């Protein structure tokens, strides 16, 4: 199932297997039959490393979703709760266990906290007189996400070897690097004698580049995420587009459940089109349709038994390819309905005006109109934040106007949301300092006129003109190096640094002639699919001499990012 993870230069199946091993070991500690009670949020991430068959091998007989009340019947010795450390979830667990206690006093209860144990959660359980009957297990015991990042990177180094060079930009990047170096000193004697797979680690803070996630992604995968949302490699789509309507069947017979599709590079066609600018996807699908049609036509040329046998052996692959083409043609049609709309075009036009520095210092009439029409609040916030970022803050009267209009139109409860956006640096008043964005844009070539969407020659194709700042920094680090942009780096938030890690004695990486260097780029605070596409593009450029592997704390787009900062995100959808 995960064969595609081992295709590249870095075999990511090693990492998956390490996680599977940890899960197996935990399950085996709970001797006897088991039922797992899932925090619904965790089923997706765990599904990426283990299917039900693996759990079944370790005596997991039942699985339930965590909810209030008595647990469904299950004749098992162990009940295991897989949960995030959230206080509200502790109350549900308490409810489950107290209900169970009266019926199955011989059962053992276990809690697996992911990613860490929380003292507050522990206390909540103790308050409900549960400490005596609950065994707790946790993956990490530190409270900070930065610590978990550093720990995760140390795990990567244990599996793939010490990374000789570390570069970083931003406050959080500096802290993570410091933690890693300290951990390395503390475990100096236990280093694995593994020849390093990675040459360089680049740590990038999201707040170094606040602009990129706010912009609308224009790659195929990016637009799927923008419009429908990709969660743990799956997307849910409107069912009517995928229904195979039979003759005489009415619309009332069409399916109502969303069509759930898995999206990863194990699917040949998706691997080919996921990173393309959406304007190049139609031609790619058309070309694929002709190839598949020609392959099916070959059956007429099969005369001998051997030829017929060969055609039949290829049939399952051809049918899978035809099904894949049908799915992606339907998805592309759904996306095209949106991207060809006037609303999408107007929104994109304003985004591109901001990114090129047009009228960023005054109230934008398009934003005014959108507020007047009561368009989704997240759409408004994305645009206002983008204007703020591209102008190094808004003039006081402009910011006050936007705030007043938003609160009067959408409700005064959103004052907390606006506060959060200010704290995050996405929305801020202009101070006396000059706007550095034009200098940064020009020096780093963040805007490319006439970006080639069909046959790209620059990373700017992923946003049809805008080159993601984060990826431009990555590109320049590889060649000619950050010293060439020292002044611009100082204009961006947080320190930039370089650290070297000594390899275990006796290990020296000799590079074969023509062998690419491998850089692990770690985004602290999230990365977009468009940025990932841009890095894949750089890996494929013939003379780059560099291959990139991407890691992050979260996959984000403008909507999910703003939602995470909203006080009441559930009431606002795009």
The full set of domain ranges for the chain reads 1-132, 137-208+444-573, 218-240+257-339, 341-390+392-432
Query: What is the pLDDT, as a whole number, of residue 247?
Result: 53
Kindly give the confidence (pLDDT) of every residue in the chain, 574 residues in length, as a single tens digit, with 9 standing for 90 and above. 577 787 778 899 999 999 999 999 999 988 889 999 999 999 999 999 988 899 999 999 999 999 988 888 888 989 999 999 998 999 899 888 877 655 555 678 899 999 888 888 888 877 663 433 345 332 233 345 788 899 999 999 999 999 999 999 999 899 999 999 999 888 776 667 788 999 999 999 999 999 999 999 999 999 999 999 999 999 999 998 887 655 555 555 667 789 999 999 999 999 999 999 999 999 999 999 999 988 888 777 777 788 778 778 888 888 999 999 999 999 999 999 999 999 999 999 999 999 999 999 999 999 999 999 999 999 999 999 999 999 999 999 999 999 999 999 999 999 999 998 998 899 999 987 789 999 999 999 999 998 999 999 999 999 999 999 999 999 999 999 999 999 999 999 999 999 999 887 767 667 676 678 999 999 998 999 999 999 999 999 867 789 999 999 889 999 999 998 886 544 444 4
CATH class of the domain comprising 137-208+444-573: alpha beta
Angle, to 10 degrees, between the axis of helix 365-372 and the axis of helix 342-355? 140
Quote the CA–CA distance of 195 and 191 in Å, as a whole number. Answer: 11
Q: Is the peptide bond before 115 cis (omega within 30 degrees of 0)?
A: yes
Residue 377 burial by Cβ neighbours in a 10 Å radius (0-12, 13-18, 19+): buried
What integer pLDDT is reported at residue 516 of this predicted model? 85
How far are the Cα atoms of 77, 173, 200, 379, 487 from residue 252, in angstroms, in the given order? 46, 54, 57, 33, 63
Burial of 98 (0-12, 13-18, 19+ CB in 10 A): middle
Q: Can you tell me the distance from the alpha carbon of 19 to that of 283, in angstroms, rounded to the nearest whole number?
A: 40
Q: Tell me the CATH architecture of domain 341-390+392-432.
A: Alpha Horseshoe (1.25)
| Residues 52-65 as b or e (16 or more Cβ within 10 Å = b) | eeebeeebbebbee
Give the residue among 418, 348, 425 at the shortest CA–CA distance from 392.
425
Domains 1-132 and 137-208+444-573 agree in fold: yes
- ∠212-216-218 over CA atoms, to 5°? 105
Nearest to 210, CA basis, from 385, 399, 443, 402: 385
DSSP 522-544: EEET-B-HHHHHHHHHHHHSTT-
**pTM of the shown model:** 0.84
* CATH number of the structural domain 218-240+257-339: 3.90.830.10
Peptide bond into 480 cis (omega under 30): yes
**pLDDT of res. 190:** 65
CATH topology of domain 1-132: Rossmann fold (3.40.50)
User: Tell me, what's the pLDDT at 143?
Assistant: 40
């Amino acid at each position: 199932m995960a064969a595609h993870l081992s295709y590249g230069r870095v075999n990511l199946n090693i990492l998956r297997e390490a996680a599977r091993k940890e899960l197996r070991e935990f399950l085996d500690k709970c001797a006897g039959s088991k039922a797992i009670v899932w925090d619904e949020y965790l089923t997706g991430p765990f599904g990426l490393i283990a299917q039900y068959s693996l759990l079944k091998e370790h005596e997991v007989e039942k699985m339930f979703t965590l909810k209030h009340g008595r647990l469904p019947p299950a004749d098992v010795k162990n009940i295991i709760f897989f949960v995030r450390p959230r206080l509200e979830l502790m109350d549900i667990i308490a409810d489950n266990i107290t209900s169970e206690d009266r019926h199955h006093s011989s059962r053992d209860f276990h809690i697996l906290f992911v990613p860490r144990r929380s003292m507050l959660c522990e206390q909540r359980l103790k308050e409900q007189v549960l400490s005596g009957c609950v065994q707790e297990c946790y993956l990490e015991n530190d409270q900070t996400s930065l610590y978990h990042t550093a720990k995760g990177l140390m795990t990567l180094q244990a599996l793939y070897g010490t990374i000789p060079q570390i570069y970083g930009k931003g406050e959080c990047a500096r802290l993570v690097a410091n933690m890693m170096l300290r951990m390395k000193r503390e475990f100096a004697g236990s280093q694995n004698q593994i020849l390093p797979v990675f040459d360089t680690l680049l740590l990038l803070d999201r707040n170094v580049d606040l602009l990129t996630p706010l912009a609308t992604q224009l790659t195929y995968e990016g637009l799927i995420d923008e419009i429908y949302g990709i969660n743990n490699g799956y997307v849910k789509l409107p069912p009517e587009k995928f229904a195979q309507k039979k003759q005489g069947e009415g619309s009332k017979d069409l399916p109502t459940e969303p069509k759930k599709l898995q999206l990863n590079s194990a699917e040949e066609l998706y691997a080919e089109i996921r990173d393309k600018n959406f304007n190049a996807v139609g031609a790619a699908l058309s070309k694929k349709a002709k190839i598949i049609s020609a392959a099916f036509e070959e059956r007429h040329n099969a005369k001998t038994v051997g030829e017929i046998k060969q055609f039949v052996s290829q049939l399952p692959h051809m049918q899978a390819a035809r099904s894949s083409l049908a799915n992606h043609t339907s998805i592309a049609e759904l996306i095209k309905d949106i991207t060809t709309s006037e609303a999408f075009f107007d929104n994109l036009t304003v985004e591109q005006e901001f990114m090129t520095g047009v009228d960023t210092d005054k109230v934008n009439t398009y934003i005014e109109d959108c507020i007047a029409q009561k368009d989704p609040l997240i759409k408004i916030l994305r645009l206002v934040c983008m204007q703020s970022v591209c102008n190094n803050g808004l003039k006081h009267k402009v910011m006050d106007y936007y705030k007043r209009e938003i609160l009067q139109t959408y409700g005064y409860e959103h004052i907390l949301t606006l506060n959060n956006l200010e704290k995050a640096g996405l929305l801020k008043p202009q101070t006396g300092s000059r706007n550095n964005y034009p200098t940064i844009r020009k020096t780093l070539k963040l805007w490319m006129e006439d970006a080639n969407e069909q046959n790209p020659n620059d990373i700017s194709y992923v946003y049809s003109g805008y080159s993601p700042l984060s990826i431009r920094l990555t590109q320049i680090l590889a060649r000619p190096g950050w010293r060439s942009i020292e002044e611009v780096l100082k204009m961006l938030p947080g320190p930039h640094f370089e650290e070297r890690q000594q390899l275990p004695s006796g290990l020296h990486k000799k590079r074969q002639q023509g062998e690419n260097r491998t850089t692990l780029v770690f985004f602290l605070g999230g990365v977009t699919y468009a940025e990932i596409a841009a890095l894949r593009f750089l890996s494929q450029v013939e003379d780059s001499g560099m291959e990139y592997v991407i890691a992050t704390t979260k996959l984000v787009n403008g909507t999910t990012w703003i939602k995470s900062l909203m006080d009441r995100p559930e009431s606002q959808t795009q």
